[in-house]
Structure 1
Amino acid sequence: FIIDELDRARPDFSLNLLELIKHIFNVDGFYFLLVMNKQQFEESIKIRYGNINSSLYLNKFIDYWFTLPKDIFTTDKYINSEGYR
């Protein structure tokens, strides 16, 4: 399953969803791809739980992190990489 823009949802909703995924859907062969701005999501954690180490908190739920460069999907790069020019 892919969940996009988790950081843009209300903090209570996004954190409840994260906890639901961890505790209810912890099944072999069941994978989630969570797309988010990590820094923004960490701020949501701090809003809910106070001044905790939000990065350590997220690591309890997320096994692997992948960071994409901000400009990876710019139009020029896409057009050039696909040979359209």
Structure 2
Amino acid sequence: MTSMPIDFFRALRSAKIGADDAQKVVESLEGHIAVKITEANASLVTELQSMRKDMGTLRWLLAASIALTGIAGTIGGYLAAVLP
């Protein structure tokens, strides 16, 4: 964890700003930073969610192809055994 809020609070206090006001300024700045980070990451979050959906589709397709390959192999083995 960073000590930036503590250092900022101390800097405000050394500038003769009251403890309550300094605390409000620090909390306001932290809130502003959190909003900006959320805004900056919004497109990345959307892209990751899209990738997760794509991965789910790929998993389903892989499982289906493995199942179909097994079924085809079984049918082929059966036909090879039954047909001369």
Q: TM-score, normalised by structure 2?
A: 0.26
**Greater C-alpha radius of gyration:** 2
User: Using CA pairs below 8 Å that are at least 6 residues apart, which structure has the higher relative contact order?
Assistant: 1
Higher helix share: 2
Higher strand share: 1
